[in-house]
Amino acid sequence: MSRIQLGTYAYRNGVLHGESVDLHEISDRFGTPTYVYSAGAVREAIAGYRKGLGTVPHRICYSVKANPCQAILRIMAREGIGADLTSVGEMKAALHAGIPAEQMVFSGVGKRRDEIEAGIEAGVLMFNLESPAELECVDEIAQRLGKRAGIAVRINPNINPQTHPKISTGLSKNKFGIPTDQAIDHYRRAQHMPGVEIRGIACHIGSSLMDSGPLLEACTLMLGLRKQLIDDGIPIPYLDLGGGLGIQYHEEVPDSPQRYGEHLRECLGNFDGTLILEPGRSLVGNAGVLLSTVLYRKVNGERTFVILDAGMNDLIRPAMYGAEHEILPLRADEGPTEVVDVVGPICETSDTFVSQGELPRLEPGDRVAILSAGAYGMAMASQYNGRPRPAEVLIEGDRFRLVRKRESIEDLWRLDIEEE
Nearest one of 63, 44, 42 to 52, comparing CA atoms: 44
Domain harbouring 320, CATH code: 2.40.37.10
3-class SS of residue 166: helix
Based on the residue annotation, tell me whether 219 is a catalytic residue of this protein: no
- Alpha-carbon span 265 to 116, nearest angstrom: 33
Residue 418 is assigned to a structural domain of this protein: no
pLDDT in tens, the chain (420 residues): 444 444 589 999 999 999 999 999 999 999 999 999 999 999 999 999 999 999 999 999 999 999 999 999 999 999 999 999 999 999 999 999 999 999 999 999 889 999 999 999 999 999 999 888 999 999 999 999 999 999 999 888 756 455 445 444 544 555 566 887 888 889 999 999 999 999 999 987 766 677 778 888 888 888 999 999 999 999 999 999 988 788 888 777 888 899 999 999 999 999 999 999 999 999 999 999 999 999 999 999 999 999 999 999 999 999 998 888 999 999 998 889 999 999 999 999 999 999 999 999 999 999 999 999 999 999 999 999 999 999 999 999 999 999 999 999 999 999 999 887
Whether residue 155 sits in one domain with residue 257: yes
Q: Are 68 and 90 in contact (CB under 8 A)?
A: yes
Whether residue 304 sits in one domain with residue 258: no
Amino acid 159: pLDDT: 60
Last residue of a domain, one of 242, 266, 283: 283
Whether residue 271 sits in one domain with residue 398: no
Last residue of a domain, one of 256, 283, 310: 283
Domain harbouring 151, CATH code: 3.20.20.10
Last residue of a domain, one of 258, 283, 308: 283
Task: Indicate the helix (H) or strand (E) that contains 82.
Answer: strand 82-85
pTM score of the predicted model: 0.93
Residue 313 is assigned to a structural domain of this protein: yes
Residue 404 is assigned to a structural domain of this protein: yes
Whether residue 399 sits in one domain with residue 355: yes
- Alpha-carbon span 287 to 18, nearest angstrom: 9
- Alpha-carbon span 221 to 170, nearest angstrom: 12
Diameter of the chain by CA atoms?
A: 71
Residue 271 is assigned to a structural domain of this protein: yes
Burial letters 305-338, b for 16+ CB under 10 A, else e: ebbbbbbbbbbbbbbebebbbbbbbbeeeeeeee
Q: Domains in the chain: how many in total?
A: 2
Residue 419 is assigned to a structural domain of this protein: no
Q: Are 102 and 80 in contact (CB under 8 A)?
A: no
Residue 154 is assigned to a structural domain of this protein: yes
Q: Are 48 and 262 in contact (CB under 8 A)?
A: no
Spell out where 195-237 has E strands: 196-202
Q: Are 61 and 104 in contact (CB under 8 A)?
A: yes
Amino acid 205: pLDDT: 74
Residues 6+ apart with CB under 8 A from 174: 156, 168
Nearest one of 128, 14, 15, 132 to 61, comparing CA atoms: 128
Whether residue 21 sits in one domain with residue 122: no
Residue 220 is assigned to a structural domain of this protein: yes
Whether residue 185 sits in one domain with residue 49: yes
Nearest one of 60, 81, 80 to 276, comparing CA atoms: 60
Whether residue 321 sits in one domain with residue 298: yes
Whether residue 227 sits in one domain with residue 291: no
Whether residue 33 sits in one domain with residue 47: no
Query: Parallel, antiparallel, or unpaired for β 288-300 and 367-370?
Result: antiparallel
Residue 4 is assigned to a structural domain of this protein: no
Q: Are 254 and 210 in contact (CB under 8 A)?
A: yes
- Alpha-carbon span 294 to 292, nearest angstrom: 7
Q: Are 205 and 242 in contact (CB under 8 A)?
A: yes
Amino acid 166: pLDDT: 46
Amino acid 6: pLDDT: 47
3-state helix, strand, coil in the chain (%, to 5): 35, 25, 40
- Alpha-carbon span 390 to 394, nearest angstrom: 13
Q: Are 286 and 4 in contact (CB under 8 A)?
A: yes
Out of 61, 69, 137, 347, pick the active-site residue: 347
Amino acid 229: pLDDT: 94
Query: Parallel, antiparallel, or unpaired for β 327-329 and 367-370?
Result: antiparallel
Whether residue 213 sits in one domain with residue 105: yes
Whether residue 270 sits in one domain with residue 128: yes
Domain residue limits at 61 = 39-283
Q: Are 198 and 234 in contact (CB under 8 A)?
A: yes
Whether residue 162 sits in one domain with residue 18: no
